[in-house]
Amino acid sequence: MTLERYTKEHEYIRIEGDIGTVGITKHATEQLGDVVFVDLPQVGRVVAQGDAAAVVESVKAASDVFAPASGEVIENNGAVVETPALVNEDPEGKAWFFKVRLKDKSELDRLLDAAAYAKHLTAAG
Q: How confident is the model at residue 29 (pLDDT cuts 50, 70, 90)?
A: very high
Q: What is the full DSSP assignment across the chain? A: -EEEEE-TTSEEEEEETTEEEEEE-HHHHHHH-SEEEEE-PPTT-EE-TT-EEEEEEESS-EEEEE-SS-EEEEEE-HHHHH-TTHHHH-TTTTT--EEEEES-GGGGGGSB-HHHHHHHHHHH-
* 94-109 average pLDDT score: 97
Q: What pLDDT score was predicted for residue 87?
A: 97
Q: What pLDDT score was predicted for residue 8?
A: 96
Q: How confident is the model at residue 2 (pLDDT cuts 50, 70, 90)?
A: confident
Q: Tell me the domains of the chain and their CATH numbers.
A: 2-118 (2.40.50.100)
* 70-79 average pLDDT score: 98
Q: How confident is the model at residue 82 (pLDDT cuts 50, 70, 90)?
A: very high
As a whole number, the mean pLDDT across the chain is 96
Q: How confident is the model at residue 38 (pLDDT cuts 50, 70, 90)?
A: very high
Q: What pLDDT score was predicted for residue 71?
A: 98
